[in-house]
């Protein structure tokens, strides 16, 4: 039986930092304000305020996790298959919160937001926006948590960069976390991943329309599209690409002997790049990918990941995927080992999948079973059932 979607959802905004004392202090040393956080909620917060779950998005994600945005059936949430009545994140039981990260381009304050101190006629930050970190994103989310009257999350869950945020939450605010579900993620970005991000940013900044980040009508479409195509390749696996495309040609039965897209995989990537440009901002891509580069949980603890987790007491469910070569299973095992060195209750599962890094969005059936059971146990513990 097919489970129902949430139907229409309406985004909300929370603004803080209107005065100097309330501004957000960043790792780079700068303060920003006002700061807007775009967020969505699903389900109902119970009387004890103990059923709240925060879902954290990946680089290209946003706050729109489930349901139809403003009633538009073409704008379905990016994890709609997992969030809703009777689903893994059961909105009949849990109060689900999701927010767009600072630095983003989907409602939260970022490089294309209003800058009250700008001398530019358009009053937009652009490259005057401060460089941010995953920690900065979490600090802003902490403000949102307090605004919503939530003292402790029943759970935090995120895949990829969302998993990095979940880990940062557990380390920075251990008293505010009852359980953590990091999926297909890492405790620090590898040199290879940093290299991919670097090339993507170079493609954007090398676009003649980028104009040092000061673009308006002529956006750096080509550079952003190339960055997306490069990134998208890392989300897939060789096996999944072979099964989906093989060496099939797109529009003819023979080679065209030119440099237009001949193969189906080329056409697919071209389409992905074009669609991405329609919904994402080039400067935001620069800032968010750089935040991922800087993420390293052990850096503030003498290079020891175990030391980083020393104050954590929340149980973990760590999930990885066998064909994920962007954040391979051994990255998750490092997290598991560090948690076990601190006697943290941790469940680990490496899920067999051909879908590569994107499996956290596609392997719904197996994820639903594992996550549902984990949340049920955490919910019963909190409620004393």
- By annotation, the residues acting in catalysis are 160, 324, 357
Q: How far is CA 203 from the centre of its chain?
A: 22
Dihedral sign for Cα 115, 166, 173, 336, please: negative
Instruction: Produce one character per residue of 3-42: b if its CB has 16 or more CB atoms within 10 Å, e if not.
Output: eebbeebebbebebbeeeeebbebeeeeebbbbbbbbbbb
Pairing of strands 68-69, 180-183: unpaired
The CA-CA-CA angle for residues 190, 194, 198, to 5°, reads 170
Structure tokens at 154: 């029943």
Q: How far is CA 270 from CA 147, 219, 250, 276, in A?
A: 42, 17, 12, 10
Q: Enumerate the β-bridge partners of residue 42.
A: 96
Dist CA 102 CA 113 (whole Å):
10
Q: And the tokens for 192? A: 């290879």
Q: What are the angstrom distances between the C-alpha of 81 and each of 6, 70, 363?
A: 10, 18, 10
């Amino acid at each position: 039986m097919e489970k129902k979607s949430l139907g229409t959802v309406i985004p909300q905004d929370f603004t803080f930092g209107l005065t100097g004392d309330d501004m957000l202090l960043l790792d780079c040393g700068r303060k920003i304000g006002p700061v807007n956080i775009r967020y969505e909620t699903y389900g109902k917060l119970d009387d004890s305020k103990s059923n709240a779950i925060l879902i954290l998005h990946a680089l290209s994600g946003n706050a729109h996790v489930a349901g139809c945005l403003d009633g538009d059936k073409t704008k379905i949430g990016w994890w709609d298959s997992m969030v809703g009545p009777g689903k893994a994140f059961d909105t009949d039981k849990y109060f689900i919160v999701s927010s767009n990260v600072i630095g983003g381009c989907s409602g939260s304050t970022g490089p294309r937001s209003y800058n009250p101190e700008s001398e530019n006629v358009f009053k937009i930050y652009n490259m005057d926006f401060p460089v941010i970190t995953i920690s900065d994103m979490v600090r802003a989310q902490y403000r949102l948590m307090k605004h919503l009257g939530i003292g402790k999350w029943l759970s935090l869950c995120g895949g990829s960069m969302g998993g990095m945020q979940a880990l940062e939450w557990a380390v920075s605010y251990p008293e505010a976390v009852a359980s953590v579900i990091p999926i297909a993620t890492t405790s620090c970005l590898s040199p290879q991943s940093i290299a991919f991000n670097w090339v993507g940013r170079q493609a954007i900044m090398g676009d003649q329309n980028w104009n040092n980040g000061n673009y308006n009508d002529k956006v750096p479409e080509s550079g952003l599209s190339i960055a997306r195509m490069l990134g998208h390749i890392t989300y897939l696996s060789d096996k999944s690409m072979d099964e989906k495309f093989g060496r099939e040609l797109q529009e003819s039965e023979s080679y065209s002997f030119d440099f237009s897209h001949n193969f189906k995989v080329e056409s697919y990537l071209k389409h992905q790049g074009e669609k991405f440009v329609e919904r994402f901002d080039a400067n935001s891509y620069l800032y968010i990918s750089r935040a991922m580069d800087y993420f390293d949980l052990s850096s503030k603890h003498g290079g020891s990941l175990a030391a980083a987790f020393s104050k954590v007491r929340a149980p973990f469910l760590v999930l990885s995927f066998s064909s994920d070569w962007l954040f391979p299973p051994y990255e998750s095992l490092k997290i598991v080992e560090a948690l076990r060195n601190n006697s943290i209750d941790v469940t680990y599962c490496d899920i067999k999948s051909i879908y590569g890094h994107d499996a956290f969005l596609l392997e719904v059936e197996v994820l639903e079973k594992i996550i549902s059971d984990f949340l049920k146990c955490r919910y019963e513990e909190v409620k004393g059932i």
